[in-house]
């Protein structure tokens, strides 16, 4: 009995020890990777840039300018090449002997060149397969050299990849680009009914850098950077390869159709005074894609409903408010339609990529017909009849109704 009891206890202990996760690691031994950049390297290799956080510098400040303190960079980039992504990651340890920890990765930046030529299927496979990587970091296309892109410290958010993350998060305010995270991207990529897209970032000159660095503050501890990271439109994919690019307005055209415009402003000419324009702020928007098949002819109607309020107006406003707002609404609807049409033209005409999910809508409404359509969707999509119906209403005119007029003498 006693022997049996000891044996059972031993078994339980062995069970816990042998099956348990022996991957204990102390936090200070980890290099927390906040973002990775992936580009192609000569010889068919892959180059990886890992941005590791310097936690001490972040928490205890980077010097702050006090006498005697040395400036510490809040992040460190490490670059390595390899035949595969994992190979490249393993090679990173040759440069910096630290165990990299990818679970807090915020962004995955893929160079435009790699996305256009090689396709990113290998990358999405790695991102999806690796247990340490999550599906929620943004998958972003980077223009130009990723090494320089990922080494543009922000002035308030010091870490470039955190800055990129913040850009993607406040996308809802401007709705001028359409980012996707890894999981969303993969879902769109593997769906036969639609094509993925994502935001594009690049380096641009820092406009706030003064021409003559007159005071010490700028040239002191943290110099004003020459360049800065900017988001520039949306990359359009066909399967796993990048095929085209949408500018800010066209990106919003895409978001209108997908019903993802949450905030932002619409600028449109005032009817009757075409040189002057009005600006409205979006309160809420809805979209509905309504496919119809008549006599084998597929057509799509996109219904868009927008609620806005007037935020800015040039020139005067008609004293008859209701009528004036009606006219403004009509002009606003036309402006939205124009944005969508421009996107449609590019997607259908130039890239032949169904980024809107029209195929998905047809699949949902006409599952039987879709089975035949699916194979020839690439041929059908460019010639697809798309009707845009925008219904908008300006709910209010903010704090004042009419602009203040200078009193006439």
Partner 1 sequence: MIFRGMKRLKNISEKDGKINNGNISELLNNEILTPEQVKDVRVSSALEENLCFLQDLLGHNKDVIIRRILLGTSPHIASALIYIEGLVDKAILNNNIMKSLMIEIHEESCGSDPRHLREYLLKTALTVSNLKNTHQMNEIAISILSGDVVLMVEGVDDAVIINIRGHKEKAISEPESEVLVRGPREGFTETLETNISLVRRKLKSPNLSFDDMLIGKITLTEVSVVYLKGLASPDLVEEVKQRLQRIEIDGILESGYLEEFIEDNPYSPFPQMHHTERPDRIVAGLLEGRVAIMTDGTPFVLMVPAEITSFLTSPEDYYERYYLGTLILWVRYISFGISLVLPSFYIAITTFHQEMIPTRLLISIASYRQGLPFSTLLEALLMELTFEVLREAGTRLPRAVGQAVSIVGALVIGQAAVQAGIVSPLMVIIVAFTGIASFTNPSYNLGITMRFLRFPLMFLAGMLGLFGVMFGIVMIHIHVAQIRSFGLPYLSSLSPLHWSDLKDVLVRGPWWSMDTRPRELGERNRRRQVPGLKPSPPRADKVGGN
Q: Where are the alpha helices (DSSP H) in 137-237?
A: 146-149, 160-169, 171-174, 182-190, 216-219
Site string for partner 1, 128-147 (x = CB under 8 A): ----x-x-------------
- DSSP H or E segment with residue 8: helix 2-19
- The least distance separating partner 1 from the CB of residue 77, rounded to whole angstroms, comes to 17
In the bound state with partner 1, the residue whose beta carbon lies nearer, of 55 and 365, is 55
**Does 58 contact partner 1 by CB under 8 A?**
yes
**Does 34 contact partner 1 by CB under 8 A?**
yes
**Does 208 contact partner 1 by CB under 8 A?**
no
**Does 28 contact partner 1 by CB under 8 A?**
yes
In the bound state with partner 1, the residue whose beta carbon lies nearer, of 89 and 178, is 89
**Does 55 contact partner 1 by CB under 8 A?**
yes
Distances (CA, A) of 28 to 98, 100, 101, 262: 10, 11, 11, 41
In the bound state with partner 1, the residue whose beta carbon lies nearer, of 60 and 402, is 60
- The SS3 assignment for 221 reads coil
| Window contacting partner 1 (CB under 8 A); options: 17-25, 112-120, 216-224, 286-294 | 17-25
Site string for partner 1, 59-78 (x = CB under 8 A): xx------------------
* Buried/exposed 301-326: b ≥16 CB within 10 Å, e otherwise: ebebebbbebeebeeebbeeeeebbe
* Maximum pairwise Cα distance, the chain: 111
Burial degree of 12 (CB within 10 A; 0-12, 13-18, 19+):
exposed
- The least distance separating partner 1 from the CB of residue 200, rounded to whole angstroms, comes to 24
The residue from 1, 2, 26, 383 that contacts partner 1 (CB under 8 A) is: 26
Region for residue 70 given its phi and psi (left: phi exceeds 0; alpha: psi -120 to 50; beta: otherwise): beta
| Window contacting partner 1 (CB under 8 A); options: 101-109, 114-122, 171-179, 210-218 | 101-109
Q: Where are the alpha helices (DSSP H) in 281-405?
A: 321-344, 358-365, 367-375, 377-380
The residue from 52, 62, 77, 106 that contacts partner 1 (CB under 8 A) is: 106
**Strand 107-111 to strand 30-41: parallel, antiparallel, or no bridges (unpaired)?**
parallel
The residue from 38, 49, 50, 53 that contacts partner 1 (CB under 8 A) is: 53
**Does 368 contact partner 1 by CB under 8 A?**
no
Distances (CA, A) of 309 to 218, 290, 316: 40, 27, 17
The residue from 1, 3, 17, 156 that contacts partner 1 (CB under 8 A) is: 17
- What is the C-alpha separation between 409 and 405, in angstroms, rounded? 12
The residue from 6, 11, 56, 155 that contacts partner 1 (CB under 8 A) is: 56
**Does 345 contact partner 1 by CB under 8 A?**
no
- What is the C-alpha separation between 148 and 152, in angstroms, rounded? 7
**Does 49 contact partner 1 by CB under 8 A?**
no
Q: Interface residues with partner 1 (CB under 8 A)?
A: 16-17, 20-21, 23-28, 30, 32, 34, 53, 55-56, 58-60, 101, 103-104, 106, 132, 134
């Amino acid at each position: 009995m006693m022997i049996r009891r000891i044996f059972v206890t031993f078994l339980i202990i062995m069970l816990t020890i042998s099956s348990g996760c022996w991957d204990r690691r102390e936090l200070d031994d980890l290099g927390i990777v906040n973002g990775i950049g992936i580009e192609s390297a000569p010889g068919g290799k892959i180059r990886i840039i890992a941005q590791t956080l310097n936690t001490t510098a972040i928490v205890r400040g980077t010097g702050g300018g006090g006498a005697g303190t040395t400036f510490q960079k809040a992040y460190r980039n490490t670059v390595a090449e390899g035949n595969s992504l994992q190979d490249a990651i393993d090679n990173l340890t040759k440069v910096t002997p630290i165990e990299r920890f990818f679970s807090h990765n915020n962004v995955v930046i893929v160079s435009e060149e790699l996305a256009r030529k090689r396709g990113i299927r290998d990358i999405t496979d790695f991102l999806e397969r690796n247990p340490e990587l999550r599906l929620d970091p943004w998958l972003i296309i980077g223009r130009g050299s990723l090494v320089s892109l990922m080494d543009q410290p922000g002035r308030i958010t010091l870490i470039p990849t955190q800055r990129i993350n913040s850009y993607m998060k406040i996308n809802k305010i401007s709705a001028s680009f359409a980012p996707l995270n890894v999981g969303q991207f993969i879902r769109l990529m593997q769906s036969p009914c639609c094509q993925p897209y994502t935001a594009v970032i690049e380096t641009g000159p820092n406009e706030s850098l003064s021409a003559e660095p007159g005071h010490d503050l700028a040239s002191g501890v943290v110099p004003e950077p020459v360049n800065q990271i900017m988001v520039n439109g949306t990359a359009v994919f066909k399967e796993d390869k990048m095929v085209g690019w949408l500018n800010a307005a066209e990106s919003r055209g895409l978001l209108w159709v997908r019903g993802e415009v949450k905030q932002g402003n619409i600028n449109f000419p005032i009817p009757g005074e075409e040189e002057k324009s009005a600006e409205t702020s979006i309160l809420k928007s809805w979209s509905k894609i309504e496919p119809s098949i008549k006599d084998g002819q597929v057509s799509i109607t996109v219904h868009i409903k927008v609620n806005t309020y007037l935020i800015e107006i040039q020139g005067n406003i008609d004293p008859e408010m209701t009528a004036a707002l009606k006219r403004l609404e009509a002009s606003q609807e036309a402006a939205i339609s124009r944005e969508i049409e421009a996107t449609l033209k590019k997607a259908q005409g130039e890239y032949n990529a169904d980024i809107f999910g029209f195929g998905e809508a047809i699949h949902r409404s006409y599952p039987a017909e879709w089975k035949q359509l699916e194979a020839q969707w690439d041929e059908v999509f460019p010639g697809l009849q798309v009707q845009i119906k925008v219904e908008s209403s300006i709910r209010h005119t903010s704090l004042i109704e009419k602009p203040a007029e200078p009193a006439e003498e």
